[in-house]
Amino acid sequence: MSPARTVAIALRQFYLLRGSPARVLPLFAWVTIDILLWGFITRYLSTVTVPGGSFVPALLGAVLLWDFLVRVMHGVTTAFLEDVWSRNFLNIFATPLSLPEYIGGLVLTGAATSAFGLLAMLILATAVFGLHFFAYGLLLIPFLLLLFLFGIALGIVGSGIVLRLGPAAEWFIWPLPALLSPFACVFYPLSTLPRWMQYVSRAIPPSYVFEAMRGIAIGRPAGDAATFGMLLAGSALALLYIVLAGWFFSRVYRHAVRTGLIPRYSAESVS
């Protein structure tokens, strides 16, 4: 595996971002709107409920972490879609670039672009709405890491769906996080859900992060066994999803090479 080739994929995205405000703006715009919207909702809820409530860390913190996951996923898929939009598959897959190098480049791009969004959200949530992220202590790192891994897995799966079904399938993948959000328990405890939904929730890593985060927000010690157990389970699942996502993309790619889809990609064949 050549790191230089992986870096080249990320460098291409940097070239595109540098010359295009239309690509830069979405890195900040939607997360800023989300933080503003939920920041004011949180502020309002704090005035109509009992004093000393935990809305800021529980709600605004949850929005921030969820938006981070979405930005990671979008970072990966957008980097992939650049090749779709510029009809670049033949040029790129006829090079020595291997599939792990290509996916590695998408991941690197997703990490870099989501870091910008995270920074913007942290600054806004802290400066305007008084969110103290250090309240989560060092657990903030595994929270972010776990959501990052799941965002990467979602991004790779989304890219695989577009590769398999054609450019128009782009519209399937943007709503993927929204589809998962009811099960991720971003705003409510897992116990709120009906039993069948709880099974789905337990199968996806974000629900463990948000359960652990809520626990800390209501005063549970950050390093207790329950939190540790949740993070361990979430991490194992996130790693499993990364492996499954890589396997899925690899299968779709092999199918595309077998059927001749790559050189004829714009034909949108789903054969």
What is the nearest approach in angstroms of another protein to the Cβ of residue 139? Answer: 38
Residue found by looking up tokens 């996806």 in the block = 204
| Residue 10 or 125 with smaller CB distance to another protein | 10
| Residue in 25, 33, 95, 123 binding another protein, rule: CB under 8 A | 95
For residue 185, give the 3-state DSSP assignment.
coil
| Residue in 21, 52, 96, 194 binding another protein, rule: CB under 8 A | 96
Rounded Cα gap, residues 26 and 17, in angstroms: 11
What is the nearest approach in angstroms of another protein to the Cβ of residue 99? Answer: 10
Give, as ranges, the residues between 50 and 79 that touch another protein (CB under 8 A): none
Rounded Cα gap, residues 68 and 27, in angstroms: 11
H helices of the chain, in order, are 3-18, 21-48, 55, 61-85, 89-93, 99-129, 140-165, 170-173, 176-184, 195-202, 205-217, 225-259
Rounded Cα gap, residues 265 and 133, in angstroms: 45
| Residue in 17, 24, 92, 122 binding another protein, rule: CB under 8 A | 92
What amino acid occupies position 175? P
| Residue in 88, 244, 268, 270 binding another protein, rule: CB under 8 A | 88
Residue 262 touches another protein, criterion: CB under 8 A: yes
Residue 257 touches another protein, criterion: CB under 8 A: yes
Residue ranges binding another protein (CB under 8 A): 2, 4-5, 7-8, 11-12, 15-16, 19-20, 82, 85-98, 254, 257-258, 260, 262-263
